[in-house]
Structure 1
Amino acid sequence: MQASAANALLPTGLSDLLPPDAAFEAAVVDRLTALFASQGYERIKPPLIEFETSLLAGAGAAMAEHTFRLMDPISHRMMGLRADMTPQVARIAATRLKNAPRPLRLSYAGQVLRVKGTELKPARQLGQVGIELIGAEGPAADAEVILLAAETLSALGLEGLTIDLNLPTLVPAAAAALGFRKAAVKSLVQALDRKDAAAVAAHAGRHALLFQALIAAAGPARRAIAALERLDLPTEAAEERRRLGDVVAHLLRAMPKLHLTIDPAEHRGFEYYNGVGFSLFARGARNELGRGGRYVSGEGEPSTGFSLYLDSLIQALPAPVAARRILLPLDTPRAAAAALRRQGWVTIGALHATADMMEEARRLHCSHVWQGGKARSVVKTGARRRKTKA
């Protein structure tokens, strides 16, 4: 039965993934999780939906406004469809893997659903692939996660990688130490996110020059660290600056050519982070490829990790090489078909006798036909016509 136009219509922000894109995405997920596993990150699989009380606990509270909710008809308790997988990993670490040795290295891959998309990312269903390092403090742990992200993306073939570091705790720490009220801190953070120097001056008052200097400090890592060192920060904020500097030092020792930038005033999208955060970009990618950073898990364990966004990643990667498809005549021996598959062919079996196998192969998008015990290349229609005319 032919589907009507009404049946093909999907809700805003949702879409079907068709061949060959769905297979390419699955292959990328397999490659990523294999790369994570090679450095000790073991895969887990959280459920798509769970009770709201656990899903939105701890770091998950930041995702409350993005979460679809519904009533469980069995328990009559409210449930939430996950909008992010990191809180689920934290829950598993605190419960099912509570007695596992720390640090705990976990990886995951799956779909998340959000109430609304954004201007830059209108999709509401997103694929996430990532890792979490749970129960580890210090710059070496932060550096391990950031370096794994860089090495993974490079292994996939992405070029021109940039890691943009930020410190979402810096501004709140400085503002609180300087006596700002909570509402004033929120307004100041929003002004800094917009890079609005005039609004920063209005909210910061006599401390305007200090916070405006944070905007000016953004840039390549070495220059940004030097600019931050020149600022007279309160003790709490100076400690945050030191942590950032330690992480940068670890990264540059490990990968001197890694392109690092720092935006010390950035806070948007890093609401539940309590240390160094980062975003991932690459040449040719229209959007960020992922983000991560340090946070506290549900049981108060120091944690850090990152999530990659599959849609952005797929768009940035080179198109996959088309598989070699060969059309097999009806009643081709199964042993012959199996041998072709072992050689890397995708075998398409004819389901009825066909007089013109070449034409049938073209119709089914096959590059070859199995004839006379050999793989024969399919002549393209245009090429055949030119030959006939000559």
Structure 2
Amino acid sequence: MSDKPTKALAAKALLPTGLRDLLPPDAEHEAQVVGRLLKEFHRHGYERVKPPLVEFEEGLLSGSAATLANQTFRIMDPVSQRMMGVRSDMTPQVARIATTRLRKAPRPLRLSYAGQVLRVKGTGLRQERQFGQVGVELIGPDRAEADAEIILLAASALGSVGAKGISIDLTVPTLVPAVAQALSLTEEDYARLRAALDHRDAKAVADAMGPHAPLFLAILEASGPAPAAVQRLAAIDLPAVARKARAELTDVVRLIEKAAPGLSVTIDPVEMRGFEYQTGVSFTIFARGVRGELGRGGRYRTGGADPVGEPATGFTLYTDTVLRALPGPRPARRVLLPPGTDYAEAQALRAQGWYTVAAMDATDDPVGEARRLGCSHLLTPDGPVPV
């Protein structure tokens, strides 16, 4: 017997690295979780927008989004003959909408979104190249209250879908560059410092910074749970240009502790990787026992260095990681409807919360048929009965 049909089917099922099919019941579970997150955002005043999957390259990668160029797939538009990009992150798209189509909308502007993104390659923590994003952007205000609102909303939304052990890791990616600028470090010295801090290598920091080492080592050591980390950071004699960043972080921590004293908050004042276009307090979201980050966010400008941009802050949750932090999908109450079941009766069952599956043919073993089709119940004259 030839194995050609089997090989042909296997070839059709093969997907590119980093891409996968999401099957029942996981696909439905993801959709429900995303819907509940968006509902929580809406309850806090965030209205949904839906940007396109593909845009012209110059718009998609303008401003701060230029840092995404290496992660963006390009295609040629056969209509306009212009290059287009497949989005690798949705935040720049929402920023574009805010500064163009919604530029006259009242501020503060609160927007939410959900959709799939595609990246050229995965990372060590996230091998997937296509995954879901769901998040919010708060555009207009440039103050600690806005940063705190965003962080508290992220924690609230994750709690609403059942995530436990949430922790927020705060950073200020402008702090170290401000100190380096005040000390007039050369580009070479700053690159060495940056590499040492990225690896949390105190010896390398000391070797690279010479007489400035005690200052940067003190910043490195001002990490850990808030508010103790805030107190350690406050004790450091920072250059004047860096004190504003410290004050912003202190204010945000104070507001979070007042609103949600039970929320786990840590501080890492030297973290910058992944926050290249952030301009103020930023954060990463983790869950106890879950590999990888659930999401990240922070302050930025909608136009990057463009003066027409606005101050904004927001966060993005990654649905694949979020799902790992949640209980699995609950078994659905699926009832098998025998052939000829009255449509109104089926409608009444669905209105009661049942998921109905209509049998196509009569069978001598309706219970076995119900089990074969993944139903938990069978409709009888006395109503649904377990199988």
| Equivalent residue, structure 2, for 1:132 | 137
Alpha-carbon distance in structure 2 between the residues aligned to 1:250 and 1:377: 51
2:340 matched to 1:340? no
Report deviation, 1:241.
0.7
What TM-score, normalized by structure 1, do the two folds share?
0.94
What is the aligned counterpart of 1:321 among 330, 350, 357? Answer: 330
| Equivalent residue, structure 2, for 1:86 | 91
Alpha-carbon distance in structure 2 between the residues aligned to 1:81 and 1:242: 38
Deviation by residue 1:170-198 (Cα, 9 ceiling, x = unmatched): 00000011011234323322221110112
8 Å Cα contact 1:41-1:107 kept in structure 2: yes
2:113 matched to 1:104? no
2:281 matched to 1:276? yes
What is the aligned counterpart of 1:377 among 372, 381, 386? Answer: 386
Report deviation, 1:247.
0.9
Counterpart code for 1:300: G
**Structure 1 counterpart SS, 2:227:** helix
2:10 matched to 1:10? no
Task: Name the stretch that deviates more: 290-299 or 248-257.
Answer: 248-257
Report deviation, 1:297.
0.7
Alpha-carbon distance in structure 2 between the residues aligned to 1:214 and 1:133: 29
8 Å Cα contact 2:36-2:160 kept in structure 1: no
Report deviation, 1:52.
1.1
| Equivalent residue, structure 2, for 1:151 | 156
Alpha-carbon distance in structure 1 between the residues aligned to 2:134 and 2:214: 40
For residues 196-215 of structure 1, what are the structure 2 equivalents within 5 Å?
Answer: 196-215=201-220
RMSD: 1.3
| Equivalent residue, structure 2, for 1:349 | 358
Report deviation, 1:359.
1.1
| Equivalent residue, structure 1, for 2:241 | 236
What is the aligned counterpart of 1:59 among 59, 64, 69? Answer: 64
**Structure 2: gaps (5+ residues):** none
**Structure 2 counterpart SS, 1:4:** helix
| Equivalent residue, structure 1, for 2:168 | 163
2:294 matched to 1:308? no
**Structure 2 counterpart SS, 1:131:** strand
Number of equivalences? 378
Alpha-carbon distance in structure 2 between the residues aligned to 1:202 and 1:78: 46
Report deviation, 1:239.
1.6
**Structure 2 counterpart SS, 1:154:** helix
What is the aligned counterpart of 2:371 among 339, 362, 366? Answer: 362
Counterpart code for 1:320: P
What TM-score, normalized by structure 2, do the two folds share?
0.95
8 Å Cα contact 1:329-1:350 kept in structure 2: yes
Counterpart code for 1:353: A
Report deviation, 1:372.
2.4
2:120 matched to 1:115? yes
Report deviation, 1:280.
0.7
| Equivalent residue, structure 2, for 1:191 | 196
Counterpart code for 2:90: M
Counterpart code for 2:106: P
Counterpart code for 1:64: A
Task: Name the stretch that deviates more: 253-262 or 44-53.
Answer: 253-262
| Equivalent residue, structure 2, for 1:175 | 180
Counterpart code for 1:352: D
Task: Name the stretch that deviates more: 29-38 or 365-374.
Answer: 365-374
Cα distance change, pair 155–101 in 1 and its aligned pair in 2 (3 A): same
8 Å Cα contact 2:226-2:265 kept in structure 1: yes
**Structure 2 counterpart SS, 1:130:** strand
2:80 matched to 1:71? no
Which stretches of structure 1, 4 residues or more, deviate above 6 A after TM superposition? Answer: none
Counterpart code for 1:248: V
**Structure 1 counterpart SS, 2:137:** strand
What is the aligned counterpart of 1:36 among 33, 41, 65? Answer: 41
Alpha-carbon distance in structure 1 between the residues aligned to 2:77 and 2:188: 37
Counterpart code for 2:363: T
Report deviation, 1:331.
0.8
What is the aligned counterpart of 2:255 among 250, 259, 272? Answer: 250
Percent identity, please. Answer: 58
8 Å Cα contact 1:176-1:185 kept in structure 2: no
Counterpart code for 1:369: L
Report deviation, 1:326.
1.1
